[in-house]
């Protein structure tokens, strides 16, 4: 439970904050142990959390700015609570502003920054919390915060490139679907009515197109409900462990794009593991944290198996060498890095390598996607046009 308090220190300074305890008596004892005289103490009702806006997400960019500004404030010798208050006022995201204010209250009440961040696990992952913990214990919190900002910025740039590469094909595909539905429900029924009035025998492609149009016209609502049901069922299935695993496995096996998704997971793995090892986190703990960072059930299971192997005294690459979803180069370099005691150096080089590979793949995809889309759209439009020009040509030839 979280308790709100107003207390005085030994020199009579009055200040308030939050303290975490299992009961109000324990909270009072904790404050007295810190040399404080309790004036007011009651359970926190989390009013601020109730003010969180449902539709205001906290983006990676917001976290980059937060970590960067907090690093600058702490390196400038500002007390952590004052730094949080100042940064909280400068943050534009309303949800993050509220959360920073809550965190500042808890730190002012005596909690560590890492413990306070851990309560917002949906925003601050185990990776962030453990790195902050390292900074607190080593006295290099400003450097760790700056490092986290760098890592988050790299991840933000990576996902921005991926989204940028996918924006054009998704837009064209969506526009094509909307246009196709419009043709099937409005244009083709009118043209088919004109052709049927002639009494001529229509070619097979024309009859097939008219049949599809009739399905859209007569059963459009049913089709829409089926698509909606499938979408909802699919989203719910993805929330199950089995569904998430199968979907993640399928993504890795998609032609061309599967390699792309694989490299994204690998760069997250190498970059995050390198950061944690440099920070002094034990290898097994680092792997446990990284298993959540990769955001892929297939790789998460492999990392979990690797943890067991490492705990049994086996090399880190034992499981990777036996699995085909891991590139041989990665497994061999991890093995070499562990044997030479330079695992962090190897991970850094692998991270840079996969970063360059992703940049090259994005450029190649952007080059290939446009002509492929134009060809597919051209074939689709050509088939639809031919399906109606052919009967008109036959009708004109009969006179």
Mean pLDDT of 336-353: 89
Residue-level pLDDT at 226: 92
pLDDT tens sequence across 86-97: 888 888 888 888
Residue-level pLDDT at 200: 64
Mean pLDDT computed over every residue of the chain: 81
Residue-level pLDDT at 399: 53
Mean pLDDT of 247-267: 87
pLDDT tens sequence across 243-253: 999 999 998 88
Instruction: Report the first-to-last Cα separation within the chain, whole angstroms.
Output: 89
Residue-level pLDDT at 301: 92
Residue-level pLDDT at 69: 87
Mean pLDDT of 36-40: 75
Rounded CA-CA distance 151/396 in Å is 68
The predicted model scores a pTM of 0.68
Mean pLDDT of 313-332: 87
Residue 373 has pLDDT above 90, yes or no: no
Rounded CA-CA distance 276/271 in Å is 9
Q: How confident is the model at residue 317 (pLDDT cuts 50, 70, 90)?
A: confident
Mean pLDDT of 186-196: 75
pLDDT tens sequence across 217-238: 888 889 889 999 999 999 999 9
Residue-level pLDDT at 45: 52
Residue-level pLDDT at 274: 87
Residue-level pLDDT at 25: 77
Residue 119 has pLDDT above 80, yes or no: yes
Q: Is the pLDDT higher at 63 or at 14?
A: 63
Residue 48 has pLDDT above 60, yes or no: no
Rounded CA-CA distance 289/269 in Å is 10
Rounded CA-CA distance 373/149 in Å is 37
Q: Is the pLDDT higher at 360 or at 54?
A: 360
Residue-level pLDDT at 55: 46
Mean pLDDT of 382-386: 76
What own/partner pairs with CB < 8 Å and gap ≥ 24 does 274-277 have? 274/344, 274/347, 274/348, 274/351, 275/127, 275/131, 275/147, 275/151, 276/127, 276/130, 276/131, 277/343, 277/344, 277/347
């Amino acid at each position: 439970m979280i308790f709100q308090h107003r207390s005085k220190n030994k020199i009579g300074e009055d200040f308030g904050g939050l303290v975490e305890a299992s009961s109000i008596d324990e909270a009072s004892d904790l404050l007295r142990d810190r040399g404080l005289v309790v004036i007011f103490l009651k359970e926190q009702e989390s009013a601020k959390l109730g003010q969180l806006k449902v539709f205001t997400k906290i983006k990676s960019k917001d976290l980059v700015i937060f970590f960067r500004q907090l690093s600058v404030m702490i390196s400038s010798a500002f007390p952590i609570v004052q730094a949080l208050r100042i940064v909280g006022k400068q943050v534009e995201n309303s949800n993050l502003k509220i959360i920073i204010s809550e965190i500042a209250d808890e730190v002012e009440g005596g909690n560590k920054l890492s413990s306070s961040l851990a309560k917002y696990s949906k925003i601050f992952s185990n990776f962030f919390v453990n790195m902050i913990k390292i900074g607190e214990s080593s006295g290099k919190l400003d450097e760790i915060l700056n490092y986290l900002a760098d890592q988050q910025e790299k991840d933000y740039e990576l996902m921005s490139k991926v989204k940028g590469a996918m924006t054009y094909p998704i837009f064209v595909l969506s526009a094509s679907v909307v246009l196709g539905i419009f043709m099937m429900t409005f244009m083709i029924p009118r043209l088919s009515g004109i052709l049927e009035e002639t009494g001529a025998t229509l070619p097979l492609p024309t009859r097939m197109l008219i049949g599809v149009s009739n399905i859209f016209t007569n059963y459009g609502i049913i089709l829409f409900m089926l698509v909606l049901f499938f979408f909802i069922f699919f989203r719910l299935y993805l929330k199950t462990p089995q569904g998430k695993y199968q979907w993640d496995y399928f993504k890795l096996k998609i032609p061309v794009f599967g390699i792309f998704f694989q490299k994204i997971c690998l760069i997250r793995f190498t970059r995050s593991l390198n950061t944690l090892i440099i920070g002094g986190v034990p290898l097994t703990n680092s792997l446990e944290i990284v298993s959540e960072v990769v955001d892929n059930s297939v790789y998460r299971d492999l990392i979990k198996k690797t943890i067991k192997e490492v705990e049994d005294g086996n090399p880190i690459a034992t499981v990777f060498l036996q699995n085909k979803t891991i590139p041989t180069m990665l497994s061999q370099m991890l093995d070499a890095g562990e044997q030479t005691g330079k695992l962090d150096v190897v991970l850094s080089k692998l991270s840079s390598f996969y970063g360059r590979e992703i940049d090259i793949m994005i450029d190649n995809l952007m080059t290939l996607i446009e002509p492929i889309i134009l060809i597919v759209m051209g074939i689709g439009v050509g088939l639809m046009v031919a399906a109606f020009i052919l009967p008109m040509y036959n009708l004109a030839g009969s006179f």
